[in-house]
Amino acid sequence: MLKRLLIANRGEIACRIIRSARRLSIETVAVFSDVDRDALHVRAADRAEHIGGAAARDSYLDIEALLAAAAKSGADSVHPGYGFVAENAEFAQACADAGLVFVGPTPEAMRAMGSKIEAKRIVAAAGTPVVPGYQDSQDTATLAAEAERLGYPLLIKASAGGGGKGMRLVEDSGGFETALAAARREAAAAFGEDDVLLEKFLTRPKHLEVQILADTHGRTLSLFERDCSVQRRHQKVVEEAPGPSVDEALRARMGEAAVAAAQAVGYVGAGTVEFISEGDEFYFMEMNTRLQVEHPVTEAILGLDLVEWQLRIAAGEALSFTQEDLTIDGHAVEVRVYAENPRRKFLPSTGRLVHVAFPSGVRVDAGVGSGSEVSVHYDPMLAKIIAHGTNRAEAIERLDRALAATEIAGVEHNVSFLRRVLADESFRAGDYTTALIETGGDALIPAHRPEALAVAAVMALRVRRSDSPWQRGDGFRINRRGRERLTLRHAGTTHEVHLEITGNGYDVSVAKTFFAVRDIADSEGDSGAESGSGSDGRFVATINGSRVRWRIIRDGLDWYLLADGASEKVTEIEPDAASLADQGPGDGRVLAPMPGQLLSVDVKQGAAVKRDQPLMVLEAMKMEHIIVAPIDGRVTELPVSAGDRITEGSVLAVVSGD
């Protein structure tokens, strides 16, 4: 068995690998960048090595730094995890050259399958059906002509890598060249090369993938399929195993095709062959020469630890079971919890996690905890939550209950959105396609809960008031009732909130909305008992006749209200800042939605623009975000240039109406 394992990754990926290595009595070495010094994976490992700056290219993508860390720590093996250098054949070769055991396939297999173009050639020659497409010349004019031949809609896909990076859906010829340029830029930034291929876009596709496992003794097995069709921006959000629409015949055909593809390149270790399907037909898309984020659902239905088997295979062990030994036990569903804001087109959210509490009774793979920082430099995934049941309905219900019990404060997140996806009729029926989120539209986006303002106002007032009999909270006054006014910010808007203290609670008014807050249950905890950062408690009361329960987390002037997986942030505005005006929806200012780097600025000062016209491209959290004009008008201020690093909320441009 391996003795000391360096994990060339971070976050929940590294934490997941550490757990399995520890069961096998393998020492673990974590690596960390400047911003990850106190990260959970660093604390979980037996030892840790610093490898460079915050940007991935200066640390987790730096092959020389990773090899130096392995040498310094005395590691005899390297696990690349998934992402970063996990599918980098040069890294696998460098490990071999340095005398390190690489926990994964050979560099030759990675090169063969690492290019989507080459992989499609290999499997097509073996008789596996592939999606109609084009994958030869990279000349722009040739690609445009081939796009016309294939017909629209079609996908432009980066040849290297995956995860939706460098992928664009093009609806018609008018948007082809813009989408091609964006796909190339994103591919170059993520994978170091900008080659692309074209694929016909199926109208009702399912995304199915087969987990394979192969040892060095000639045995290659199919570990059955996963359905990964719930996607946003071509990135998976919900995964389940087995596929609810897959019958035994289709399962056998896909399994045989996946095993044949792996054997064609002499594959060793864990890998995934991805297919796109419509009805009973399926087409090869790509092979991921690594472990997948969604591997826990396969582990749940088979009772296997895939990381353990990766390590055993790397150490030369043979698989101890055959294809006939594998049977499916029940059903498993996984969701990816992201730091992002569904109400703002899923923009990633950064900052300090003031409070995190994950549920019990289900599997949680997380790389963060209370106090962790969510950085702009890396993927915004916080955790994966996986539920297993005797059948699909039971697994979904267990997962939904687990999400309802999840508490996250400090950044925006998608937990409420995930619960709505699980409740979607087409998802429950199992006949959903990759368009589920797109067709679900606004029905999947959780609305703000307006009573959060009333709860925060009451709690803020209770903190401010002293124990003086003249400041009692029971409404006692000589000849008058107690009245207070607070200024609070919620959901991007500043509100003046009026409170009147009654004998059994508070009357709270916000503009024309009235909340009668009554029967507050102090016995369940008063979050206002402490005014320091991070104090917390429970708020139980009746508001306008309905009983409500919130978990309250206070961090300075910020109040986080948590219930049923939802999170609401309300901020107290100090009196000297209360007069600051909000940004109006049509004032023409273009503010940075998050910190990042400007890849391009596509307009000049003085240019006339139309509402929603692209102005510039912002790169953040490994994705490109197009910044558009808020109104029709003229660009009167443009204080930024391509290449600038910008902070959240900074002014990128001002568009003045004509």
Strand, coil or helix: what is 401?
Answer: helix
Q: Which residue in the block uniquely carries the two structure tokens 């097509």?
A: 124
Q: Which residue in the block uniquely carries the two structure tokens 């009167």?
A: 636
331 and 392 in contact (C-beta within 8 Å)?
Answer: yes
Sort 573 into a burial class: Cβ within 10 Å, 0-12 / 13-18 / 19+: middle
Sort strands 407-409 and 483-490 into parallel, antiparallel or unpaired: unpaired
* 232 catalytically annotated: no
Intra-chain end-to-end CA distance of the chain, in Å: 72
Q: Which residue in the list 290, 312, 489, 551 is annotated as catalytic? A: 290
User: At 10, phi and psi to the nearest 5?
Assistant: -145, 180
Question: Tokens representing 157?
Answer: 């896909």
Alpha-carbon 144 to chain mean position: 32
Strand, coil or helix: what is 250?
Answer: helix
Q: Cis bond leading into 153, ω under 30°?
A: yes
Beta strands in 363-471 (DSSP E): 363-366, 373-374, 381-389, 407-409
Helix axes 140-150, 176-191, angle to 10 degrees: 120
128 and 114 in contact (C-beta within 8 Å)?
Answer: no
Sort strands 235-241 and 220-232 into parallel, antiparallel or unpaired: antiparallel
Q: Which residue in the block uniquely carries the two structure tokens 């558009």?
A: 628
Give the strand order in the sheet containing 651-656.
Answer: 589-591, 651-656, 633-637, 608-609
**CB 301: neighbour CB atoms within 10 A?**
23
590 and 656 in contact (C-beta within 8 Å)?
Answer: no
- Rounded to an integer, what distance in angstroms lies between the CA atom of residue 342 and that of residue 437? 11
Closest Cα partner for 45 from 17, 24, 66, 67?
A: 17
Question: Tokens representing 503?
Answer: 């004998």
- Rounded to an integer, what distance in angstroms lies between the CA atom of residue 477 and that of residue 500? 12
H or E element: which one contains 148? Answer: helix 140-150
Tell me the catalytic residues.
Answer: 290
